């Protein structure tokens, strides 16, 4: 039934209800001291026993509030905010009633302390939603007006403070009306201003809390991104080390050979052979560099040309002549099977050509003479699928996951074919994945391998 | 003086060839292995007097593992190991597991000038003789 605050002021509420209790101690002490002071200076002007009783009542209910507050601080309620709002309401309401009673026994309209109502309206504006400020302004106005009017019509007795102001003042209709108008007007204006300011402050506080929250969220995101970057950076350093090693090896080999020739370690009849070996390493280095460049270009995704609609079968036929010749040189059976009416894919022709060349030349390279290499091209509902199968050396299951890593070559592959950069399959994988496709391998050691790639059909 | 037997462990045949060209005219017997496993087998079967080892072979730590395995075998502990690698400088130290003891008697960077290699080898063989 309580109107909820626009956002949780719960921490503020606990603080402020405590402040109200503190304030009340001060007010009771001050009021008592002032009463005794006045009684001392102007003996018999104040109804001291009644004042002491009222102060005692306020002290008692403030003590009860204090007890309740300490219980409330340890509440396990699901909605502590509602409890605190109810608590604030009770306090303000009881205070307004107590003030009215106090005013009645201290000369009613003659006592300028009726201005104290403003304190409660301000407290309500700070603690509670805006509508409560006006409710309490109305409540205080009605109570005080009722008191003053009841005294005016002598429904209740008027208690005069001797020697303070003219004893007839409460009977002056015009004076009473003007004071009531002034007070009621002041209370409502106070309610309006104080609640407006409180509202702005609450909104600011809310914004601050939200921005703090989003800062925390962003800090978390940044930390995650940072960790990811650190990871990437580590992978990159590792890659650079590998590349450096791979690039250094052929140069070191060539330099060693040349040094040996220059220092006269190589007998003349073997010099030609050593120079040929050096040249082979130089060529290997060139191939490695161009593969690295291709890899870098694929990684940057900054190709000059846009992917176009291409026929994967056309490109396959473009490379088969060369591959057929290589296979025949090695005494391999080479065949190509293409499903008719294949749809086009969106890709760069040079990439697809690279794809076919790398996969088919690998198959030829790692198959012993007399073996078979079969290339097929087919489709499934979403993809055009290329398959290169061989009866070559194959590989062990534990070698397969590393197959597409840069520079990885199996021991068996190295033993069979010295030359090779270890980058061919990395390039193939990058190409396929850059077009949203995938590549996979099935293989059995000594039996052969089957590489398949799927490229999405052009929409 | 008996001919010292040197095992060259490297997966680069050109490097092995260069070693042969350097060492054989200087009366060293050269045997070779292309991997850490093969190297360990040759250490057992041939008991070489010295091992020249490449750190990075097919797997990054192949060479290191081989040197560690050699330490585990009391009979092969005394064989000096000369590490030769294209790891250029200490920047690449990060490649090594830092908390493991790596037994190496000498460290040379590829390419190795033949005279430097021969000198280090004769030093190592003398110190263990």
Residues of chain A in contact with residue B88, where contact means CB-CB under 8 angstroms, are: 244, 248
Write phi, then psi, for A384 (nearest 5 degrees).
-95, 125
- How many Å is the Cα radius of gyration of chain B? 14
**pLDDT tens-digit readout, B29-79:** 999 998 888 888 998 898 899 999 886 655 556 677 777 778 777 677 778
Name the residue with higher pLDDT: B10 or A141.
A141
* C-beta separation of A323 from A400 below 8 A: no
- The count of C-alpha atoms lying within 13 angstroms of the C-alpha of B53, restricted to the half-sphere facing its C-beta, is 34
Token couple for A153: 């019509």
- Cα A158-A185-A157 angle, rounded to 5 deg: 5
Whether A351 and A431 have beta carbons less than 8 Å apart is answered as yes
pLDDT at B94 > cutoff 70:
no
Tokens 């005279």 belong to B115
pLDDT the model gives residue A25? 93
Within a 10 A sphere around the Cβ of A125, how many other Cβ atoms?
A: 25
Please compute the mean of the pLDDT values over residues A419-425 and round it to a whole number.
Answer: 84
- If you search the block for the tokens 């292309």, which residue do you land on? B34
Please give the Cα distance from A181 to A199 (Å, whole number).
27
Q: What is the pLDDT of residues A316-348, one digit of tens each?
A: 999 998 999 999 999 999 999 999 999 999 998
- Residue B115 to residue A263, Cβ atoms within 8 A: yes
**More confident position, B107 or A216:** A216
Task: Report yes or no: B17 at the A interface, CB cutoff 8 Å.
Answer: yes
* pLDDT over 90 (residue B28): yes
Q: What is the DSSP string of B4-42?
A: PEEEEE-S-HHHHHHHHHHHGGGT-EEEEESSHHHHHHH
Q: Is the pLDDT of residue A274 over 90?
A: yes
Could you read off the pLDDT of A13-68 as tens digits, one per residue? 777 788 889 989 998 999 889 888 888 888 877 888 888 999 999 999 999 999 99
Beta bridge partners of B30: B6
pLDDT at B97 over 90: no
**What per-residue confidence (pLDDT) applies to A17?**
82
Higher pLDDT: A68 or A239? It is A68
Residue B55, classed as helix, strand or coil, is coil
C-alpha–C-alpha distance, residues A317 and A153, integer Å: 115
For residues A322 and A359, is the Cβ–Cβ distance under 8 A?
no
Nearest to B12, CA basis, from A414, A270, A366, A288: A414
Interval A76-101 mean pLDDT: 88
Reading the block at residue A387, the tokens are: 């398959």
* Cα dist from A118 to A20, A26, A133, A137, whole Å: 14, 17, 11, 8
Residue the block writes with tokens 């396929």: A432
> Which residue in the block uniquely carries the two structure tokens 């391999």?
A332
Q: What is the pLDDT of residue B86?
A: 65
Structural domain boundaries in chain B: 4-128
Over the Cα atoms of chain A, what is R_g?
47
CA distance A243 to A249: 10
Q: Does B37 touch chain A (CB under 8 A)?
A: no
Residue A245 touches partner B, C-beta closer than 8 Å: yes
Question: Could you report the predicted ipTM of this complex, rounded to two decimals?
Answer: 0.81
Measure B31 CA to nearest chain A CA, in Å: 18
Residues in chain A: 459
Reading the block at residue A448, the tokens are 């052969």
Residue A77: beta bridge partners? Answer: none
Q: Residue B21: which of A237, A245, A265 has the nearest Cβ?
A: A265
Per-residue confidence (pLDDT) for residue B90, from 0 to 100: 45
Q: Using a CB–CB cutoff of 8 Å, tell me whether B92 touches chain A.
A: yes
Are B18 and A256 within 8 A, CB to CB? Answer: yes
By percentage, how much of chain B surpasses pLDDT 90?
22
With cut-offs at 50, 70 and 90, classify the pLDDT of residue B100. Answer: low
Mean pLDDT score of chain A, rounded to an integer?
A: 88
**Do you know the residue count of chain B?**
129
The fold of B4-128 is Rossmann fold (3.40.50)
- Give B87's contacts in chain A (Cβ within 8 Å): 245
Tokens 């794809």 -> residue: A355
Q: Please, what's the b/e burial string for A139-162 (b: 16 or more CB within 10 A of its CB; e: otherwise)?
A: bbbebbbebbeebbeeeeebbbbe
Nearest to A48 by CA among A59, A39, A40: A39
Is residue A283's pLDDT more than 70? yes
Chain A's closest residue to B96, CA to CA, is A238
Whose CA is closest to A347, among A312, A382, A371, A373? A312
Nearest residue to A319 (alpha-carbon basis) of A367, A364, A358, A353: A353
Which residue from B minimizes the CA distance to A263? Answer: B114
The pLDDT confidence band at residue A121, using thresholds 50, 70 and 90, is very high
């Amino acid at each position: 039934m309580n109107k909820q605050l626009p956002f949780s002021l719960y921490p503020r509420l606990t603080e402020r209800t405590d402040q109200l209790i503190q304030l009340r101690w001060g007010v009771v002490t001050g009021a008592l001291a002032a009463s005794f002071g006045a009684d001392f200076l102007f003996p018999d002007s104040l109804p001291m026993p009644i004042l002491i009783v009222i102060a005692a009542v306020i002290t008692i209910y403030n003590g009860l509030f204090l007890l309740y507050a300490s219980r409330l601080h340890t509440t396990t309620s699901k909605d502590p905010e509602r409890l605190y709002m109810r608590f604030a309401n009770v306090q303000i309401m009881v205070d307004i009633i107590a003030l009215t009673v106090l005013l009645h026994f201290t000369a009613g309209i003659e006592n300028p302390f009726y201005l104290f109502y403003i304190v409660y309206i301000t407290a309500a504006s700070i603690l509670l939603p805006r509508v409560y400020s006006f409710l309490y302004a109305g409540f205080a106005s009605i109570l005080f007006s009722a008191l003053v009017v009841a005294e005016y019509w002598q429904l209740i007795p008027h208690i005069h403070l001797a020697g303070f102001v003219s004893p007839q003042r409460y009977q002056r209709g015009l004076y009473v009306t003007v004071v009531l108008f002034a007070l009621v007007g002041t209370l409502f204006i106070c309610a309006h201003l104080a609640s407006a300011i409180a509202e702005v402050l609450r909104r600011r506080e809310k914004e601050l809390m939200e921005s703090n929250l989003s800062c925390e969220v962003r800090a978390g995101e940044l930390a995650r991104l940072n960790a990811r970057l650190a990871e990437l950076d580590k992978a990159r350093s590792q890659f650079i080390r590998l590349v450096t090693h791979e690039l250094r090896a052929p140069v070191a080999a060539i330099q060693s050979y040349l040094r040996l020739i220059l220092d006269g370690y190589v007998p003349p009849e073997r010099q030609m052979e050593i120079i040929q070996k050096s040249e082979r390493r130089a060529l290997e280095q060139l191939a490695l560099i161009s593969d690295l460049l291709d890899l870098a270009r694929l990684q940057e995704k900054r190709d000059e040309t846009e992917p176009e609609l291409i026929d994967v079968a056309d490109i396959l036929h473009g490379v088969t002549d060369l591959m057929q010749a290589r296979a025949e040189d090695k005494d391999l059976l080479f065949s190509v099977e293409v499903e008719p009416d294949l749809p086009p894919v969106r890709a760069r022709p040079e990439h697809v050509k690279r794809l076919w060349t790398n996969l088919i030349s690998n198959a030829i390279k790692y198959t012993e003479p007399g073996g078979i290499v079969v290339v097929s091209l087919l489709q499934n509902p979403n993809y055009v699928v290329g398959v290169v199968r061989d009866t070559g050396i194959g590989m062990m299951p534990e070698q397969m996951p590393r197959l597409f890593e840069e520079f990885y070559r199996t021991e068996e592959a190295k033993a069979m074919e010295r030359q090779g950069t270890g980058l061919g399959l990395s390039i193939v994988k990058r190409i396929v994945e850059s077009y949203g496709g995938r590549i996979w391998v099935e293989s059995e050691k000594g039996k052969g391998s089957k590489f398949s790639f799927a490229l999405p059909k052009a929409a | 003086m008996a001919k010292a037997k040197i095992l060259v462990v490297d997966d680069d045949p050109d490097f092995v060839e260069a070693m042969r060209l350097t060492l054989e005219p200087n009366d060293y017997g050269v045997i070779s292995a292309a991997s850490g496993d093969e190297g360990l087998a040759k250490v057992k079967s041939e008991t070489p007097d010295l091992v020249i080892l490449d750190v990075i072979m097919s797997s990054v730590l192949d060479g290191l593992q081989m040197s560690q395995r050699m330490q585990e075998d009391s009979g092969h502990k005394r064989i000096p190991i000369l590490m030769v690698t294209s790891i250029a400088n200490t920047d690449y130290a990060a490649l090594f597991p830092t908390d493991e003891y790596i037994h190496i008697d000498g460290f040379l960077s590829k390419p190795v000038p033949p005279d430097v290699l021969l000198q280090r080898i004769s030093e190592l063989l003398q110190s263990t003789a």
